[in-house]
Amino acid sequence: MNKKIDIHLHVAYDGLDGFFEPYYFADGKTMKQYMEDNDIDHGLILSGGENSGHFSQNIDACALAHKYPETFSWLCNIDVTNQKDLVERLTHYKALNAKGVGEFTANYRIDDPKVEAVLSACQELELPFLFHMSPKPGFNYGIVDKPGLPLLEKALIKFPKLTIVGHSQPFWYEIGGDMPMDYETRNEYPTGQVKPGGRLPELLEKYPNLYGDLSANSGGNAIIRDPEFGYAFLERFQDQLMFGTDMVNTDMHFPLGSFLDEALEKSKISKDAYEKICFKNAQRVFNLNY
């Protein structure tokens, strides 16, 4: 069995139905068994929010990680609208063994002063920052950037010691070039061969503090839709990519794990690249002892 750490899970302490239709959220015991059945050794539970009213908020994610420490670690979240004592609040969560901040979904531009204050606090406390991206203010959820990701690059320059982990369709859309750049299309899942000239490879090449979360149909699709490109991309950026699923329940299955296993078996990617992407990078970035 090949080892894997999943950096992107959503789990509710007692399970949850009806909050985020059409999905239900599995409880910790159920997800633990499902992970074992799918050869996932450990997972990061991402918090849905700092306060009540969110699925798997900080208190739930933390409690699950403490209840099943061999199976789960957790990332905290922060209410960006409350700018009071950001460092102190994050210090509190770090003391409770939060491994970073995520999934950060506040719908503000990345260069909004409120978001930059969170990024600054994360850099100060050495907490990795994992975000969901939106293509437009007021559309869907996630921090906002323009086509070509200029605001993300600005943040990478401004916070060079902060590990920033990118996720979602508009982030992974930039893996290829020569693409439509209207906001609706940027939030979709491209098909077919990846064309050269993508902005994301440029940013990964230039900024070692940028990482890619390969979870869901955004990251997974970016790699799988053009296998030969995907193999080369995995090999080239093996130090900056991390396996994840974005599972919320046991009805969900994402093909990336099998794709990576087969790529290793067929010698399409090296063992070093496979191990870094599947678990070693996560261990290093999130300070995991698994």
Q: What tens digit of pLDDT does each residue of 270-286 get?
A: 999 999 999 999 999 99
- C-alpha atoms less than 13 angstroms from C-alpha of 83 in its C-beta half-sphere: 8
Reported as a single tens digit per residue, the pLDDT across 36-57 is 988 999 999 999 899 866 668 9
Q: Residue holding tokens 């600005």?
A: 154
Could you tell me the sign of the dihedral formed by the alpha carbons of 269, 160, 118, 203, in that order? negative
Reported as a single tens digit per residue, the pLDDT across 209-219 is 999 999 998 99
Q: Rounded to whole angstroms, how far apart are CA atoms 100 and 77?
A: 8
Q: What is the pLDDT of residue 1?
A: 56
Domain ranges of the chain: 5-285
Q: What is the pLDDT of residue 7?
A: 98
Q: Rounded to whole angstroms, how far apart are CA atoms 108 and 101?
A: 16
Helix axes 150-158, 199-206, angle to 10 degrees: 10
- 111 in Cβ contact with 156 (< 8 Å): no
The average pLDDT across 167-183 equals 94
Q: What is the pLDDT of residue 143?
A: 98
Q: Under CATH, which number does the domain 5-285 receive?
A: 3.20.20.140
The answer on pLDDT for 241 being more than 90 is yes
Segment among 41-55, 82-96, 140-154, 161-175 with least mean pLDDT = 41-55
First to last CA, the chain: 15
Reported as a single tens digit per residue, the pLDDT across 129-142 is 999 999 999 988 99
CA dihedral 129, 134, 140, 143 (to 10 degrees): 40
- Of the pLDDT bands very low, low, confident and very high (cuts 50, 70, 90), residue 162 is very high
Strands 143-144 vs 133-134: parallel, antiparallel or unpaired: parallel
Global confidence as pTM:
0.95
Q: What is the pLDDT of residue 123?
A: 99
Q: Rounded to whole angstroms, how far apart are CA atoms 163 and 119?
A: 10
Q: Rounded to whole angstroms, how far apart are CA atoms 104 and 127?
A: 13
Angle at 97 between CA 94 and CA 102, to 5 degrees: 70
State phi, psi for 5 to the nearest 5 degrees: -115, 125
Residue 201 CB partners (closer than 8 Å, separation 6+): 175, 233, 236, 237
Q: Rounded to whole angstroms, how far apart are CA atoms 45 and 141?
A: 19
Q: What is the pLDDT of residue 15?
A: 46
